[in-house]
């Protein structure tokens, strides 16, 4: 598995770019944290859309939400979003390496999410399924064999057309600006994590890239804050997407830890 990490780091290094033009320069670990956070945020937005629009889901909602996040990033089709996908797959491989080393416990197996390593492979599968010219090298390096890479094309097609079909009735056809209630609470212990999200317009970009495209029954709310846990979630009771600054910190720590182990 170590081999995979080295390759990912190399690819990230080659494609390293400022996260967004006009934004402050950020360090590699901040970029990694931001990219993984974008994937997590898109995943939570999928839960919001599923709940608010009453989207039917066949299979596990967590898998559908991961697919949605991957599709949205693939469709954005920029160097920045491709890096976000590479970093996110790397993040799940890293998490698997750290948490799922020798055996899987029952709660890993009966949990609502797939195993971290499966989540990593599924991201890469959809990447290569959409665009083998760009992503087959990465798929080769992580060990997706040729047959599976070819089959990933239909996985991508199915996920893509399924999401389009269920979201079609809710398209914001006239492009009217939608209101979103965005707040970055002041961090106390984790000021730089909060600043990283705010300075890079973390929620605002997700509104432009996703929420703006749909008519939603009520004004969505997105909040960054310290929560005393490294987590992010959609709260169906309040209709709010919450992103905890602790999770940004956890991604930064994971990146640093892996760097020092090389
Ligand atoms: Zn989820």
206: in domain: yes
The verdict on 67 and 136 lying in the same domain is yes
pLDDT, tens digit, for every residue of 103-122?
788 888 888 888 889 999 99
- What's the gap in Å between 113 CA and the centre of ligand 1? 8
The verdict on 48 and 116 lying in the same domain is yes
- What's the gap in Å between 163 CA and the centre of ligand 1? 16
The verdict on 133 and 12 lying in the same domain is yes
Task: Give pLDDT, residue 11.
Answer: 54
**Containing domain of residue 116, as a range?**
2-18+26-170
What total number of domains does the chain contain?
A: 2
Task: Give pLDDT, residue 19.
Answer: 42
Task: Give pLDDT, residue 41.
Answer: 98
The verdict on 110 and 35 lying in the same domain is yes
Distance, in Å, from the CA atom of 229 to the CA atom of 246, rounded to the nearest integer, reads 6
- What's the gap in Å between 43 CA and the centre of ligand 1? 6
The angle subtended at Cα 20 by Cα 15 and Cα 23, nearest 5°, is: 125
Distance, in Å, from the CA atom of 27 to the CA atom of 33, rounded to the nearest integer, reads 10
The verdict on 213 and 162 lying in the same domain is no
How much of the chain exceeds pLDDT 90, in percent? 72
Final residue belonging to a domain, choices 170, 201, 229: 170
The verdict on 74 and 157 lying in the same domain is yes
The verdict on 133 and 187 lying in the same domain is no
pLDDT, tens digit, for every residue of 131-180?
999 999 999 999 999 999 999 999 999 999 999 999 999 999 988 888 99
The verdict on 126 and 42 lying in the same domain is yes
Which of these, 181, 167, 58, 70, lies nearest to 119 by C-alpha position? 70
110: in domain: yes
90 to 186, 208, 256: CA distances (angstroms) = 29, 26, 13
CA 83, 28, 245, 185 torsion-angle sign = negative
Return the higher-pLDDT residue of 126 and 92: 126
- What's the gap in Å between 93 CA and the centre of ligand 1? 18
175: in domain: no
Task: Give pLDDT, residue 102.
Answer: 67
Task: Give pLDDT, residue 14.
Answer: 44
The verdict on 146 and 190 lying in the same domain is no
Let me know: does 224 contact 190? Beta carbons within 8 Å. no
Final residue belonging to a domain, choices 129, 144, 170: 170
Return the higher-pLDDT residue of 93 and 71: 71
Task: Give pLDDT, residue 101.
Answer: 62
Task: Give pLDDT, residue 109.
Answer: 83
- Name the average pLDDT for the chain: 89
Task: Give pLDDT, residue 4.
Answer: 53
Say whether pTM exceeds 0.75: yes
**pLDDT of 6 higher than 50:** no
CA 147, 154, 136, 98 torsion-angle sign = negative
145: in domain: yes
- What's the gap in Å between 199 CA and the centre of ligand 1? 25
- What's the gap in Å between 106 CA and the centre of ligand 1? 19
pLDDT, tens digit, for every residue of 188-204?
888 899 999 999 999 99
How much of the chain exceeds pLDDT 70, in percent? 89
176: in domain: no
Final residue belonging to a domain, choices 127, 142, 170: 170
- What's the gap in Å between 49 CA and the centre of ligand 1? 12
251: in domain: yes
The verdict on 33 and 11 lying in the same domain is yes
Return the half-sphere exposure (C-beta side, CA atoms, 13 A cut-off) of residue 236: 8
37: in domain: yes
Distance, in Å, from the CA atom of 3 to the CA atom of 247, rounded to the nearest integer, reads 26
State the SS3 of the chain. Answer: CHHHHHHHHHHHHHHCCCCCCCCCCCCHHHHHHHHHHHHHHHHHHHHHHHHHCCCCCCCCHHHHHHHHHHHHHHHHCCHHHHHHHHHHHHHHHHHHHHHCCCCCCHHHHHCCCCCHHHHHHHHHHHHHHHCHHHHHHHHHHHCCCHHHHHHHHHHHHHHHHHHHHHHHHHECCCCCCCCCEEEECCCCCCHHHHHHHHHCCHHHHHHHHCHHHECCCCCCEEEEECCCCCCEEEECCCCEEEEEHHHHHHHHHHHHHHHHHC
191: in domain: yes
Distance, in Å, from the CA atom of 249 to the CA atom of 169, rounded to the nearest integer, reads 38
- What's the gap in Å between 234 CA and the centre of ligand 1? 8
Let me know: does 116 contact 99? Beta carbons within 8 Å. yes
The verdict on 116 and 155 lying in the same domain is yes
- What's the gap in Å between 133 CA and the centre of ligand 1? 30
pLDDT, tens digit, for every residue of 29-86?
999 999 999 999 999 999 999 999 999 999 999 999 999 999 999 999 999 899 999 9
The verdict on 133 and 240 lying in the same domain is no
Task: Give pLDDT, residue 8.
Answer: 56
């Amino acid at each position: 598995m170590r081999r995979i990490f080295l390759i990912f780091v190399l690819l990230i290094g080659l494609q390293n770019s400022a996260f967004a033009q006009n934004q402050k320069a950020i360090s590699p670990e901040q970029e990694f944290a931001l990219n993984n956070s974008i994937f997590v945020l898109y995943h939570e937005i999928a839960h919001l859309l599923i709940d608010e629009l009453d989207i039917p889901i066949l299979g596990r909602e967590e898998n559908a939400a991961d697919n949605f996040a991957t599709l949205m990033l693939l469709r954005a089709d920029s160097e920045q979003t491709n890096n976000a996908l590479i970093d996110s797959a790397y993040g799940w491989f890293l998490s698997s390496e750290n948490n799922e080393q020798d055996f899987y416990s029952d709660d890993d197996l009966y949990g609502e999410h797939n195993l971290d390593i499966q989540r990593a492979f599924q991201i890469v599968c959809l990447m290569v399924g959409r665009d083998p010219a760009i992503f087959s090298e990465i798929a080769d390096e992580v060990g997706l064999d040729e047959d599976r890479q070819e089959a990933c094309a239909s996985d991508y097609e199915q996920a893509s057309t399924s999401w389009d079909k269920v979201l079609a009735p809710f398209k914001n056809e006239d492009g009217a600006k939608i209101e979103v209630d965005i707040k970055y609470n002041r961090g106390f212990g984790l000021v730089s994590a909060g600043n990283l999200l705010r300075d890079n317009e973390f929620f605002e970009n997700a509104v432009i890239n996703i929420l703006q495209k749909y008519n939603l029954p009520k004004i969505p709310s997105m909040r960054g804050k310290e929560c005393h846990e490294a987590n992010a979630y959609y709260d169906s009771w309040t209709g709010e997407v919450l992103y905890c600054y602790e999770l940004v910190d956890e991604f930064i720590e994971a990146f640093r830890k892996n760097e020092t182990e090389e």
